[in-house]
Structure 1
Amino acid sequence: MQSMYLQDGRVLEFAVRGPERGPAVLFHHGMPGSAVPMDSVLDSVTDRGYRVVTYSRAGYGRSSPLPGRTLLGTAEDCRTLMDHLRVDRYLVVGWSAGGPHALAGAVGDSRRVSGVLLIASFAPHDAERLDFVEGMGMQNTVQFGSASKGEGEQRAVVSHLAAVVRDTPADLASGIASLLPPPDVAEVTGAYGADSAVHLKHALAAGNEGWVEDLQVLTRPWGFDLGDVTAPVELWHGDVDRMVPVAHGQWLAGRLPTARAHIESGHGHISIAVGSLGDKLDLLRSRTS
């Protein structure tokens, strides 16, 4: 784990793994999340020779909080990080809440982002003709429903959910059962669950500010048009996802001009990503050469 100072004095935490000269990939984590790499997710990427950069969004891990942050503001932080690492061209991966951040990065650093891999990404909260919470498990329905009730309610909901997330993998699977179809239960109680426990513990070590900021970002307008994403997009979504229902992926696929959609039968929010990101990145890279 490393850190750097941004121009405004904030700290940005990051990590780099994989071969030094491999094709660069910037990974945008979910909500909550951190720079701590998860072997069960990223081994399939580094095994194929990619150099993976992970980071903690503002307020998570050791990254300084930034109340009121925006998607495009985080994209600027990431652009500065890739400048720091002297990366000329790179792919971006966005999983779950990381999806909107990956798209923002493709707009904010369009000269260098050569492709976008979206895994179970959220659509905009104000998406036309999309019921944002339809098909979500109870915890996410409550979480996103708090957006209309003010910051105090958002913080109370996040505090409750954070206590659940800090449990052991087995207790976590029980605590968020409404969000987990059978294929995701299998992942949470396996190797991914152990990796995720470390990843999430670090994310919330200094408190819940990153999670609150993420929730606020996801329930405000994104600040850019999907038509501004010009890099190739490979979009993957499981049809039994209860965290981010498949309707979100279908909505995005219909509005991203360069998107190629893969709706996977029998996959959930977690199973769609674990162990297969390397294959998905190879497919994306084949469109960028």
Structure 2
Amino acid sequence: MQFDAASHGKKGGLSKSGAGRRAVMGRGHSSANGTLKSLDLGDGRVLEYAVRGEDDGPVVLFHHGMPGSAVPVGSFFHSATERGYRIVTYSRPGYGASTSTPGRTLADTAEASRALMDHLGVDRYVVAGWSSGGPHAMATGAADPQRASGVLLLGSFAPYDADGLNFVGDMGLMNIIQFRALARGEEAQRAVISQMAAAIREENPAEVASAMASLLPTVDAMMLNGTYGVESAVNMHHGLADGYAGWFEDLHALTAPWGFDPAGITAPIELWHGAMDRMVPVAHGAWLAAHLPTVRAHIENKGGHISIAVGSLGEKLDQLAARMG
């Protein structure tokens, strides 16, 4: 849960063709954090997205956590954009202005991501995912191997049915509640998620940290009490402005069979996980490290779910680029 780091233009093969440098097209609309755009997927659905950074910079497709949205979080992306990366964010279906897609799977979202990359004219890109965005990043890497040339995982979930993994072991209480609701049926799931979504929408951004105490080691709470916490709350408020459909769909996509074998991803994978993470416990990172053939795993003993990512995205992308180059 996300209540939820080389020289310019030469980052280990992260590049775009001249055709890919054209101006981003799409219908724009205002948000609390700049202008977001909407891509018509051609089947009556739209996908909300945003682009931040250099027009000709190496492209990074970022998959947000649960809940979340396309609204860029400046304090999170700054270390990447200052290095020349071009960050593409999007709202998964049901969040923000993206059309709800009941029953969607990780593979469905990967196909929507491919359509977005087609729309932007991107020939090669890195895919990054934080928290519940990690499985979506892996799905995109599996679905688009010719263009997704590297995968960055930050505090990512492992499969819900992973052999030998206690999925909720060592999680904070808020996450345990939502995942255990799965066993009580759809009505119970909706009741839990709607209550959590309402709490986020109604909280003052500066007060979100106190509501998440069971999920936050001290190192994370300190970050959430700063600029990042306010920006992250704005991001989530936008994602949940019209309801909790995206969160409900996310929960099911994450815990259903993934529909692809993560071990089949051929691109280099950089995995980062904090040993103090209570949103997605480090056992998830350890399981992925043991089952992804192309992975290089980094476990930070004093890291949490937020501190593992905020402020260091650019450095982590550079390390991935070095492996690709």
Aligned residue number for residue 285 of structure 1: 321
Aligned residue number for residue 102 of structure 2: 67
Q: Is the 8 A contact 1:169 1:189 kept in 2?
A: no
| 2:283 counterpart of 1:247 | yes
Q: Cα offset for 1:31?
A: 0.1
User: What letter corresponds to residue 269 of structure 1 in structure 2?
Assistant: H
Q: Cα offset for 1:165?
A: 2.0
What secondary structure does 2:260 align onto? coil
Aligned residue number for residue 155 of structure 2: 120
Name the CA distance, whole Å, in 2 between partners of 1:56 and 1:156: 23
Name the CA distance, whole Å, in 2 between partners of 1:260 and 1:165: 35
User: What letter corresponds to residue 258 of structure 1 in structure 2?
Assistant: T
Name the CA distance, whole Å, in 2 between partners of 1:239 and 1:161: 26
- Aligned pair partner of 1:94 in 129, 135, 142: 129
| 2:179 counterpart of 1:155 | no
| 2:250 counterpart of 1:175 | no
Name the CA distance, whole Å, in 1 between partners of 2:296 and 2:119: 31
| 2:167 counterpart of 1:132 | yes
Superposition RMSD in Å: 0.8
Q: Cα offset for 1:176?
A: 1.5
Structure 2 spans left out of the alignment, 5+ residues: 1-35
User: What letter corresponds to residue 147 of structure 2 in structure 1?
Assistant: R
Q: Cα offset for 1:169?
A: 3.6
What secondary structure does 2:291 align onto? coil
What secondary structure does 2:49 align onto? strand
Deviations 1:203-232 (A, max 9, x none): 001100000000111111111111211100
Structure 1 spans left out of the alignment, 5+ residues: none
| 2:251 counterpart of 1:221 | no
Aligned residue number for residue 22 of structure 2: none
Q: Is the 8 A contact 2:208 2:233 kept in 1?
A: no
Aligned residue number for residue 61 of structure 2: 26
Q: Cα offset for 1:82?
A: 0.3
Aligned residue number for residue 270 of structure 1: 306
| Percent sequence identity over aligned pairs | 62
- Equivalent pairs counted in the alignment come to 289
Aligned residue number for residue 11 of structure 1: 46
Aligned residue number for residue 231 of structure 1: 267
| 2:141 counterpart of 1:106 | yes
Name the CA distance, whole Å, in 1 between partners of 2:50 and 2:322: 26
User: What letter corresponds to residue 265 of structure 1 in structure 2?
Assistant: N
Q: Cα offset for 1:168?
A: 2.1
Name the CA distance, whole Å, in 2 between partners of 1:276 and 1:30: 17
Name the CA distance, whole Å, in 1 between partners of 2:199 and 2:309: 22
Name the CA distance, whole Å, in 2 between partners of 1:194 and 1:174: 13
Name the CA distance, whole Å, in 1 between partners of 2:42 and 2:205: 38
